[in-house]
Every structure is written in C-alpha cells, then in structure tokens.
Structure 1
Amino acid sequence: MTPELTRLAAELTAVIDDVAAAFGAAADPTVSGELDCDPIRPGHLLCWQYGVRVEHPASPEAGLASYVPVLHRAGWQSHDRSTPAEHITRFTRDGADFTVHIAGSVTIIGSTRPVPA
C-alpha cells in the first residue's frame, strides 16, 4: 500500500468508527481494504474502502445530528441526499468522502477515495 493510501485508510477508518459510535451500538465492519479502481489502466488508481453496519436505537437521526457539528469543526462538509424513505448524508473533505445511510433499523457508513498508485 502506498504511503498516501495508508494515511487515507487510517483517517477514514477513524472517522467512520467515530461516527458509528455516535449511534451507541457496536459496528460490524462490512468492507475494509484496498481496491484497484481504474478499469482502463489497472494498478494506476487505488481506493481504500471501509464500511460498517450499525443496528441502531429508535432515533438514529438524533445520533447522527449530535455528531454532525464535530465533523463540521473537523472540516467535513455535509450534503443531505435523503428521500422520504431513507436518510442519506454524504460528507466530504479534501477529496475524501463517506456516506451515512439510515434505512429501517440499520445504518450503513462507508467510504472510498481514489489515490494514484
């Protein structure tokens, strides 16, 4: 793994784990690892993928809302992409991003960001 990808992996893993903790339940990792994401030139663009699944309490939006100011202070911008059926918020900072997807009794938090290999 490149030094940039190592740094990115540590950063995104930590922020996603912190967001998951705001829901007050244990998070189950769903994906964690390097991905070759350049279909035209394999091996030239890598991504770090990390995601967790959280079974949350009755009002998950409140858990997320309590943590959004922390993310904003850390420089993350939020973009609401919710629909009437599900809550979706995308956070971006310096080219990295992650999404919080709340649907029913489950929350999925995941990220990916490409870096040159």
Structure 2
Amino acid sequence: MTPELTRLAAELTTVIDAVAASFGGHPDRTLDGELDCDPTTPGRLLCWQYGVRVEHPASPETRLPSLLPALHADGWESHDRSTPAEQITRFTRDGTDFTIHVAAAVTIIGSTRPVPA
C-alpha cells in the first residue's frame, strides 16, 4: 500500500468507526482493503475501501442528523440523497468520500478514494 493510501485508510477507519459507534450495536466490517479502481489501466489508480454494517441501530431516524454538526466542523461537506424510505447522506472532504445509508433496521457506512499508484 502506498504511504498516501495507508494514511487515508487510517483516517477513514477512525471516522467510520466513530460514526458506527454512535449508532450503537456491534458494527460488522463488510469491506476493508485496497482495490485497483481503473479497469482501463490496471495498477495506475488504487482505491481503499472500508465499510461497516450496524444491525438494528439505536434511533436511526435521529442519529444521522445529530452527527452533522461534528462532521461539518471536521471539514466534511454533506450531500443529502435521502428518499422517503431511507436516509442517505454522502460526505466529502479533499477528494475523499464516505456514505451513511440508513434503511429499516440496518445502517451501512462506507468509503472510498482513488489514489495514484
């Protein structure tokens, strides 16, 4: 893993784990690793992906809005993509993004960012 990808992985793991902890329950890791993200030129652009799933999160309808002030204070911009059936918010900062997706009894939080190899 490149030094930039290592730094990014550590930073995003911390952010995503903190968000998951705020939903309560036990988060299950769904993704954690490097990915070659440009099929047209393999090995030139890498992504690191990390995601967790929280079953039966505590107060999902209020948890996501309560996280916004702290994430905004840390420089994350939010983009609401919610529908009447689910809450979806994408956060971006310096070319990095992660998404919080709350649907029924599951919350999924994941991230990715391409980095030149």
Q: How does the TM-score come out when normalised to structure 1?
A: 0.96
Aligned to 2:48: 48
Distance 2:45 2:57 in 1: 38
Query: SS at the partner of 2:78?
Result: strand
Residue 14 of structure 1: how far off its partner (Å) = 0.6
Residue 61 of structure 1: how far off its partner (Å) = 2.6
Residue 67 of structure 1: how far off its partner (Å) = 1.6
Aligned to 1:85: 85
Aligned to 2:16: 16
TM alignment of 1:1-117, pairs within 5 A: 1-57=1-57, 59-117=59-117
Residue 64 of structure 1: how far off its partner (Å) = 1.7
Ranges in structure 1 where 5+ consecutive residues have no aligned partner: none
Query: SS at the partner of 1:46?
Result: strand
Q: What amino acid is aligned across from residue 33 of structure 1 in structure 2?
A: G
* RMSD, matched Cα: 1.0
Deviations 1:9-45 (A, max 9, x none): 0011110001101112211100100000011110000
Deviations 1:73-96 (A, max 9, x none): 000000100011111000000000
Residue 62 of structure 1: how far off its partner (Å) = 1.3
Distance 2:71 2:57 in 1: 21
Tell whether the 8 Å contact from 1:22 to 1:66 is kept in structure 2 after alignment: no
Query: SS at the partner of 2:114?
Result: strand
Tell whether the 8 Å contact from 2:76 to 2:93 is kept in structure 1 after alignment: yes
| Number of aligned positions between the proteins | 117
Distance 1:58 1:16 in 2: 16
Distance 2:29 2:97 in 1: 17
Percent identity over the alignment? 77
Distance 1:46 1:64 in 2: 29
